[in-house]
Structure 1
Amino acid sequence: MDKVKLKELKCSNALAALARKAIFCDFVNPEEVAKKGEPAFARPAHAQYSEGAMLSALSHLGGQPHLPEGFVWPEAEYGYKEKGMRPLVFMAQYDLRELSRYDLEGLLPDHGLMVIFGCGEAFGFDGEHSRIYVFDDVYSLKVTQRPADPPCEKVLETDRMEIPLHRIVVRAGWQVPHEWSSMFDTEEGDDCDADWGMSREQLEQINDSYEELFAELAGTDGYEELEDDTTQFLGWGEFIQGDYTANRQCRLLYTQSSFCDENLKKWQLCIGDAGAIYYFIDEDDLKAGRFDQVRSYMDCY
């Protein structure tokens, strides 16, 4: 399928030079889909942006994943007082054949199903609590239920292990680093990574004039400012308490943010205190499809 078109940035200041193309996601209750009809409709009114397209029903947040026969569901250590291994939470899955239309950097596979696991709303998982798999033969996959929890410490009511199913609406857009990005930590003694493609002096200039540069960028055609805490692929990300991007080689693969269904007036996914899970991968591993090298961080307010 042909790639979607994205307006080119008309602003050429130092901050705009760092802009990356990202895929932004929103989630829609299946009941709303039934009311509006297939295959696509306008994004929810609470979103600050528009012109999204709905992916097929194979792509969805929550519910049950499509997995190969004999797949071993990933686990991580869980517990508050006593520790034990517990199946991870299925977060979302994406039909890459459709999603790749919006991948304007060409970094994601152009076929297969990407299945994402994480800690969900559970604080009780320790260590590395996220996994990403890509399965090439989509037609051989089967809907698979999460295994029963082992008889170790009882799951707290706040540690919900299943997420309600929602359909996914996506669009492509530009994104620049947040003004609190670690790449702008250029004070003497700070670890300023020089491989961002800019000198220390250039990064200092952006840091000192960020608001003015961003206002200039946001006021031009081609750039649309998005709401904070957006679920997304690629781009720079909207981090909460810290920027986990280590250097230019480290790429933000996926951000799973909390979200509230405005129609139901209810949180459908609340990670910590309305937080997010960030999935990172080195660019070389991303290009080679080594998704077993993904690492993750959970953060919240």
Structure 2
Amino acid sequence: MVSMTDTELFQAVTANKLGHLKPHLKRLMKPAVRVTVARGRGKLAAGSSRVGGLPDMPANAQWPTVDGIPLMFAGQFDLRALSRFKAAKLLPKKGLLSFFFDGMLTGYDRGEAPDRSRVIYTDTSKVETLKLSPPTTVRSPFAVYREAPLALESTWTLPEFEEIDGQECPTIPSIEPILQTMRDRNNYPKLRRKIRGKHIGSKLFGYADGVQGGEIRFEAVLKQDRNKRFRREDEGWANGKRLVREMRDLSLLFQSAMGVTWGGMGVVYFWIRHQDLENGRFDRAFAQLQST
């Protein structure tokens, strides 16, 4: 993943022969925070942004579990450091946001793929934290990875192709179908690859980069729905308008593609609905794994 200013993004739009779509893309573009491993391996201060190691949690905290399964630590972010970024404007201005995922992929061999996860906010102005030790009963493949400091950079993102594909009766419903010509449909994926870079990286907010192609928010909504409300029909999707509204309502919290190995070449996406983000209901966030 590369880091781009808004000016550089629109230079890329023009270079890929999509300049006539600038008004639409300007409305759709979203800020993000690019996350990379920083230089230096010295001892990290408590509460700093990092992946790996052990999480900083309140002294009385229990190691996060779901269904009795201990989750692996994906990383934590110092919200005071994030407060300077436009993308993070809805986050609390101080404290820690910590991410956990079932890195053992419990049940995947049985086709269950439950994507167990937790996102935990800690108000460090009210409680002191210390490094939380994992349960003593855990065994491989549970792992605590080597800790690494993080560097944070502002960048801009655009939606995946399928979100704006104007093809009639697409398999994946479009949120805003602005790609109406074959030329635009051919050029836009090139622009997206330019923005994403050669490899999928980690970021906070913005538009997600799916490992498997397709529209990842679409897949996230369907997985949460469990085939209760939305189903494919001959002329589109049952409850299609509601499906699009729910896709639009999902915000990417954290795209985790570094520091830990999620299912080989996998990436974990932590999602939250907009109202839950506004209300600080991080307990309602959920995760989605994609791997090659």
- Do they fold alike, i.e. is TM over 0.5? yes
Give the total of aligned pairs: 243
Are residues 76 and 213 of structure 1, via their aligned partners in 2, closer, same or farther at CA, if it must alter by over 3 Å? closer
In 2: Cα distance, 1:107 partner to 1:207 partner: 38
In 1: Cα distance, 2:130 partner to 2:255 partner: 26
Are residues 229 and 284 of structure 1, via their aligned partners in 2, closer, same or farther at CA, if it must alter by over 3 Å? same
Q: What residue identity is the alignment partner of 1:130?
A: S
Do structure 1's residue 205 and structure 2's residue 193 form an aligned pair?
no
Q: Match of 1:92, SS?
A: strand
Deviation of residue 294 (structure 1)?
Answer: 0.4
Gaps of 5+ in 1: 39-54, 78-84, 260-267
In 1: Cα distance, 2:27 partner to 2:181 partner: 11
Q: What residue identity is the alignment partner of 2:284?
A: Q
Q: Deviations over 1:126-157 (max 9, x none)?
A: 6241101111125611221112226xxxx44x
Do structure 1's residue 184 and structure 2's residue 165 form an aligned pair?
yes
Two-structure CA RMSD over aligned residues (Å)? 3.2
Do structure 1's residue 171 and structure 2's residue 153 form an aligned pair?
yes
Do structure 1's residue 286 and structure 2's residue 277 form an aligned pair?
yes
Deviation of residue 16 (structure 1)?
Answer: 4.4
1:119 match: 102
Do structure 1's residue 254 and structure 2's residue 254 form an aligned pair?
yes
Q: What residue identity is the alignment partner of 1:58?
A: S
Q: Match of 1:116, SS?
A: strand
Q: Match of 1:64, SS?
A: coil
1:48 match: none
Are residues 25 and 270 of structure 1, via their aligned partners in 2, closer, same or farther at CA, if it must alter by over 3 Å? same
Are residues 226 and 109 of structure 1, via their aligned partners in 2, closer, same or farther at CA, if it must alter by over 3 Å? farther
Q: What residue identity is the alignment partner of 2:59?
A: E
1 or 2, which has the higher helix percentage?
2
Q: Match of 2:283, SS?
A: helix
Q: What residue identity is the alignment partner of 1:228?
A: H
1:228 match: 199
Q: Match of 1:274, SS?
A: coil
TM-score, normalised to structure 1, is 0.69
Q: What residue identity is the alignment partner of 1:235?
A: G
1:238 match: 209
Deviation of residue 206 (structure 1)?
Answer: 7.1
Deviation of residue 6 (structure 1)?
Answer: 4.8
2:237 match: none
Q: What residue identity is the alignment partner of 1:280?
A: W
In 1: Cα distance, 2:152 partner to 2:46 partner: 11
Gaps of 5+ in 2: 14-21, 108-112, 219-246
